Amino acid sequence: MLRYYQILGLNDNATEEEVKKAYRSLAKKWHPDRYINQPEKLEEAEKKFKEIAQAYAVIIDNKNSDKIPDSSGIKRKKTDPKVQFDLGVMAVEVNDLSEALDYFNSAIKIDPNYREAYIYRATILEKQGFQLRADNDWRKAKELKLKESISTKIVEKDEPIYSKKKETYKSEIKIEIKESFVNSKPSSSQELSWQRVKIFKAHSGAINSISIASNGQIFVTGSNDKTIKIWKLNNGELVSILPDQKEAIYSVVISPDSHYLATAGKDKNIKIWNLSQQVLYATLDGWFSGHQDEILSLSFTPDSQYLVSGSKDKTVRMWNIHNQEEVLKYTTYGDKILTINCDKTGNYLATAGYERWIKILNLKTGKLAKSLKTNAVVTTVAFSPNNKILASGGFDRQIKLWDWQKKEIISSLIGHTETISTLAFDADNKLLFSGSWDSSVKIWDINTQECLCTLKPHRNEIIALAVRNNKIITGGKDGNISFINHLSK
């Protein structure tokens, strides 16, 4: 046992809290994702990470295991299923799927109702081609979720979605007990209370994009139902519906100066609107100067002079808003571009999608500035307000925090069980908000990389999210908009 303590740099009389602190520090230092761009160190990092994870698991299991006398009177240890689950997640991170499968098998054997273990195991089995076994696990996970829902009580009015004192998560009409994930416990240093103050049917189709005006007066939504709607931010009252939309809208973005609204989607065209008058200002299209396929993401430069667009046609284009000229076209992508985000200086643009790279372009030169290797499809990227961090999320259900200038991963935030669809920082560089197809919003502390709380504002996939001051607005596959406010204690 002493050897495991030594791996973590501790004496064998270390407390459980000291063990956890040492583990977090070492796991962060040796996480393989930090060395993706340093092949010479990657193998060593993978070895160290697994060694650290094993030492942590053995020590915690030894400290927390119940000792139960059997018929012979000998005390035997009852293994903690969460330790096995956490080890499985760690094995997934280093792409050791065989070992991960063993850990998830152990977790399920100890606790046959461990829903998250079934979800992870099903994902691995699908990847290995065992579809029937995977389907059984997905079915079991759904059954367990249904049992949780049935066993909860109905609430008749809106209540805090998360309350630290009660430590429960509440959905639209019910309380849903949410099991813990890695890094998903409430913060012990910050009192948080979030309340859903409004939820309403806004669209007849999925809401793909939300943008809040910097003047704090309105927000805009775009939907699969082929409509663009403008709403009052203070109460959610509908202001207007923009005319002449014939196809699904995938992206809406308000310029930083609140003068313009850019919209785009399935029709391959970009429309620029005068926001105050709510009339069409310009259309950016054409075979020679426009996109050749659906446009999935838009981003303004901070000075509101230029708009950048990313498309299924594997190109990124930058446009001058005032003369509608295409001033930049970047074409060296191998697959569809799903997400783009301009940094706060207006000098750099993060782009990502089905290609397993996040590419950061220098908008002044039109050249590639940085390339960040990823292990999965990336669906969302966001620069922090101070420009030091780039956050990314996607099909692997993990959020990566990058020191993008050094091309290094700072941390991987684990907790979501489905694709991460949307990310947003708060203005103070302290919090990161994530929305997922698992129907949850998570709020992360940037400094500690811990999840402060989990919100359940929708019954199904969350696709869009926007944040301003102490208000979160979410849009879902269900066509609903949810307002969530932060209440200081």
pLDDT digits (tens, 9 = 90+) for 13-50: 888 888 888 888 888 788 776 776 676 777 788 788 88
- pLDDT grade, residue 184 (50/70/90)? very low
Q: Is the pLDDT of residue 61 over 80?
A: no
> pTM higher than 0.95, yes or no?
no
Distance, in Å, from the CA atom of 359 to the CA atom of 363, rounded to the nearest integer, reads 12
- pLDDT grade, residue 89 (50/70/90)? confident
pLDDT of the residue at 38: 72
Q: Parallel, antiparallel, or unpaired: how do β-strands 75-78 and 306-311 relate?
A: unpaired
Q: What does the pLDDT average to over 332-345? A: 94
Fold match flag (2-150 vs 160-486): no
* 160-486: CATH class: mainly beta
Q: Which of 372, 385, 383 is nearest to 342 (CA)?
A: 383
Q: Is the pLDDT of residue 257 over 90?
A: yes
Q: What does the pLDDT average to over 402-418? A: 92
Q: How far is CA 239 from CA 39, 60, 201, in A?
A: 54, 56, 15
Q: 3-state DSSP call for residue 477?
A: coil
Distance, in Å, from the CA atom of 106 to the CA atom of 113, rounded to the nearest integer, reads 12
What does DSSP assign to residue 153?
A: P
Distance, in Å, from the CA atom of 381 to the CA atom of 36, rounded to the nearest integer, reads 18
The answer to whether 443 and 164 are in contact (CB under 8 A) is: no
- pLDDT grade, residue 149 (50/70/90)? low
User: In degrees rounded to 5, what are phi and psi of residue 101?
Assistant: -60, -40
pLDDT of the residue at 22: 87
Q: In this prediction, what percent of the chain has a pLDDT beyond 90? A: 53
What's the CATH number for 2-150?
Answer: 1.25.40.10
Edge-to-edge, what's the strand order for the sheet holding 441-445? 420-425, 431-436, 441-445, 450-455
Q: Is the pLDDT of residue 159 over 80?
A: no
pLDDT of the residue at 190: 39
Q: What does the pLDDT average to over 123-134? A: 80
Highest mean pLDDT among 22-36, 189-203, 275-289, 365-379: 365-379
Highest mean pLDDT among 62-76, 89-103, 469-483: 469-483
User: In degrees rounded to 5, what are phi and psi of residue 2?
Assistant: -60, -35
Residues in the chain: 489
Distance, in Å, from the CA atom of 117 to the CA atom of 83, rounded to the nearest integer, reads 11
For the chain, the domains span 2-150, 160-486
Edge-to-edge, what's the strand order for the sheet holding 228-232? 207-212, 218-223, 228-232, 238-241
Sequential DSSP letters for 31-65: -GGGGTT-HHHHHHHHHHHHHHHHHHHHHHHHHH-
Q: Is the pLDDT of residue 487 over 60?
A: yes
Q: What does the pLDDT average to over 463-472? A: 94
pLDDT of the residue at 94: 64
Q: What value does the CA radius of gyration of the chain take, rounded to a whole number of Å?
A: 24
The answer to whether 322 and 281 are in contact (CB under 8 A) is: no
The residue assigned the tokens 């409509």 is 227
Q: Is the pLDDT of residue 216 over 70?
A: yes
Q: Which helix (H) or strand (E) holds 87?
A: helix 81-93
Provide the β-strand partners of residue 163: 168, 193
> What token pair was written down for 170?
């509440």
